A and B are shown apart, each in its own frame.
Chain A
Amino acid sequence: MSSSTDLGRPDPDPTVAPTRDGRPVSDRGDTVCVIGAGASGLTAVKNLREAGFGVDCYERETGVGGAWNWRHDRSPVYASTHLISSRPFTQFPDFPMPDDWPDYPHHAQLLSYFERYADHFDLRQHVWFGTEVVRVEPVEGDRWDVTTRSTGGYGPERTSRYAAVVLANGHNWSPKLPRYEGLEQFRGEVMHASSYKDPAQLRGKRVLVVGAGNTGCDIAVEAAQQASRCWHSTRRGYWYAPKYVFGRPADQVNDTLLALRVPLRVRQWLYHWTLRLTVGDLTRFGLPRPDHRVYETHPIANSQLVYYVGHGRVSPVPDVARFGDRTVVLADGSEIDPELVVFATGYLPRFEFLEGRVLGDADGSGRPRLWLNAFAAGHPTLAVVGLVQPDSGIFPISHWQSVLFARLLTLRATRPDRAVAFGKRVAAGLGERYSARVKDSTRHWFEVGHADYLRALQRALHDLEDK
């Protein structure tokens, strides 16, 4: 764990003011607090440092990488996790991945990439490892009291006052578990995909995978190879896009059309046409017909699922209706008898250290109301970085969000009028969407189209910088 005597890290200033409930507070002056040292937190630290700010980053684990560090207990990655967006869409814009890496690198390569990023820009000296954030409270003057303690609750709590806060605590660690009648009585094994780490967990078992996100499809494909039987339950039909089209990563082909400014309708038609040529009619395999057009739900990039369905190694089944003692009853009335049920039903974003109303979520629905998925009304010194579910990589988005926030903080001192105008824009744009019409579900409310979203960010940056 880090200590306050670490080289390059100043000791916090002596106590200057108590909190509302009388706890002592150390004033960290103009320093910015970043919560989390995963991909989004690291890029926030780097960009804030580059803009000249002091930064304290709190990381509950003992290493960088967040979700992509499989040693972390909140990491959702499993042994075979690979990127689903290709390198150009995933790397930080100012720190490319090696060009001799594969198009879709493995999670271990991602971790090494973040470790190199941290070392290259000398970021570790700003991170307090093994320290978790307990409370974040707004105080007068748009400043923030951040209370921390050792991970696991050891040692005393400490409160420090910061000029600004970046929330980069990730959104893929708190499992979303569906409720089903009879689930408590089910005597088979039940797990969420967050606990799935290795194909050995599936070996020789009758497995039911619930959920058709990218994780659900990946686990179904692994079960096809390892399990004695695999059922894949999905609520609706999806478009299973192959990872390669015409010998190129599918997202690069898609962005060729975007770069050529082909309209959405034409792109949808081309996409459907390409899928018809390559994957074909999915209903022939027993998969349900998609009830939406492509680009209207989060894309599933999986070349192998349909292959294993075709080999009879994966049996597509409808939604789960209820659980029995040893059986699962499906929506069509049929019964199956899995030994293991894997819920690949996603995650819910959580900010347990912050009152919901700060992020515009007063009723506790778990859906913050933000502008650009990053800025809260009435809190000009707060930014949420990485709270997006893009149809592409998240890291470039986190990079530009934190660049925008760093420039906003700089302007608060040099051009306060611009910063005030930005605040008005935030209040007016709460809840704005950046994608084509998408299906309504907890999984899709923070869905963004990468091109639409980055264009909106670029406009916001230009508005700030205009003379």
Chain B
Amino acid sequence: MSAERVRVVRGWEWARPERPARREVVAAVPELDQAKPPLLFVPGFGHGAWAFAEHWLGHAAGRGFPAYALSLRGHGGSEPAPGATLRSYTHDVVQVAASLPRRAVLVGHGAGARVVAHALARYPARAAVLVAPVLGGWGTLGTALRRNPAGTVPAVFGAGLRLNRRQLFSRELPDADARRHLGRLGRAGRRAQWQLLTGRQPEPAVGRPPVLVLGSPDDRVVPPAALTRAARRYASAPLLFPGMGHDLMLDARWREPVDAILDWLEKDPAPAAG
């Protein structure tokens, strides 16, 4: 990505700035400030801040990291926004990141990782973590059609994408929990959903943030090849957690990936080359 050029002139963005929206931000802050960078968790399409509030926020705060999760507009407790675009979601992430007291680590899950990749071009994050990243492109649609045709075909015609239990969670997660989580899923804006397939690729990240990619080889939304591709884009290899579903933060063994992220951050990863 370093070969791409920076963009200075953004005429349209200046002329038509994104409309403000009320955003839900859930926080878990350690009692003692240990000068660790704040984490900002960005949920994927259909998910809200609740997905991280379930386990990861508290766990990160317990290990001394101030942890925040936001609901993109139209999701969770944020303002409804049926016309939202990827740019609106990116705007939400950058706004919340800039409001935090210190330079933040952006953690994006699923399509939230694509939003984070866009946000990295607009905000010099301390580091970034892409969890089971759905970075878009027509391959994403192909996988979704193959794995979950009934939930995907209506989305092609403008309805919401419906993800099923087998895609999101492993068999280890109790049924009651899985049903509870599935019941909370919402949907992304129609335009944003399309832009995931057709939209422009993210611009190069500013501020040379180190990037970690992690996921599961048994994820039925993001195939292992896509994980490898995503990691290669940031000059690394993916960290894998076999036996888990797409929603690593809600699955039965949620502790392992979040600990891996926090361990990586504690090692103080070096900025990317270039």
Footprint of B on A, CB under 8 Å?
50, 52, 87-89, 93-96, 98-100, 119-122, 251-253, 255-256, 258-259, 400, 403, 451, 454-455, 457-458, 461-462, 465, 467
Contacts and interface: CB of A to CB of B under 8 A. Distances in A.
A464 to B, nearest CB: 10
A451 B16 contact: no
Given A94-B122, A461-B6, 11 more contacts: A93-B8, A94-B124, A96-B98, A99-B17, A121-B103, A252-B14, A256-B15, A256-B16, A259-B12, A458-B8, A465-B5
B15 A100 contact: no
B16 A461 contact: no
Contacts of A119: 101-102
Contacts of A100: 20
15 contacts: A50-B124, A88-B17, A93-B10, A94-B124, A94-B206, A99-B17, A99-B91, A119-B101, A119-B102, A120-B102, A255-B14, A403-B6, A454-B8, A458-B6, A458-B7
B15 A120 contact: no
Given A50-B207, A94-B206, A258 B8 contact: no
Interface string B7-49: 1111111111110100000000000000000000000000000
A95 B20 contact: no
A98 to B, nearest CB: 7
A217 B15 CA distance: 26
Given A93-B122, A94-B124, A94-B206, A259 B11 contact: yes
A100 B208 CA distance: 29
B73 to A, nearest CB: 11
B82 to A, nearest CB: 19
A50 B208 contact: yes
Contacts of A258: 11, 15
Contacts of A89: 14
Interface of chain A, main secondary structure: helix
Contacts of A403: 6
Contacts of B1: none
Nearest to B121: A94
B21 to A, nearest CB: 8
Contacts of A458: 6-9
Interface string B98-126: 11111100000000000000000011100
Given A94-B124, A252-B16, A252-B17, A451 B8 contact: no
Contacts of B101: 119-120
Contacts of A122: 102-103
B3 interface: yes
B116 to A, nearest CB: 15
B207 A94 contact: yes
B208 A400 contact: no
B17 A87 contact: yes
A98 B95 contact: yes
Interface of chain B, main secondary structure: loop
Contacts of B94: 96
A94 B94 CA distance: 8
B8 A461 contact: yes
A378 B65 CA distance: 48
Contacts of A121: 103, 124
B9 A252 contact: no
A88 B13 contact: yes
A451 B5 CA distance: 18
In the A-B complex, the 8 residue pairs with the closest CB atoms: A259-B11, A99-B20, A458-B8, A255-B15, A256-B15, A88-B14, A88-B17, A259-B12
Interface of B: 3, 5-18, 20, 91, 94-95, 98-103, 122-124, 206-208, 271
Contact of B15 (A95, A259, A457): A259
B106 to A, nearest CB: 13
A190 to B, nearest CB: 40
Contacts of B14: 88-89, 251-252, 255
B23 to A, nearest CB: 10
A400 B98 CA distance: 19
B4 to A, nearest CB: 10
Contacts of B11: 255, 258-259, 451
Contacts of B207: 50, 94
A89 B124 CA distance: 19
B120 to A, nearest CB: 10
Given A94-B122, A252-B15, A467-B3, A400 B95 contact: no
Nearest to B17: A88
Contacts of B100: 120
A462 B5 contact: yes
Contacts of B17: 87-88, 99, 252
Nearest to B94: A96
Contacts of A253: 15
A455 B18 contact: no
A100 B23 CA distance: 11
A395 to B, nearest CB: 13
A410 B254 CA distance: 42
Nearest to B91: A99
Contacts of A87: 17
Contacts of A252: 14-17
A100 B98 CA distance: 13
Given A87-B17, A94-B123, A99 B95 contact: yes
Contact of A96 (B7, B95, B208): B95
B132 to A, nearest CB: 27
Contact of B9 (A52, A96, A454): A454
Nearest to A258: B11
A255 B99 CA distance: 27
Nearest to A89: B14
B98 A95 contact: yes
A400 B122 CA distance: 13
A462 B18 CA distance: 28
A255 B14 CA distance: 7
Contacts of B16: 252, 256
A50 B124 CA distance: 9
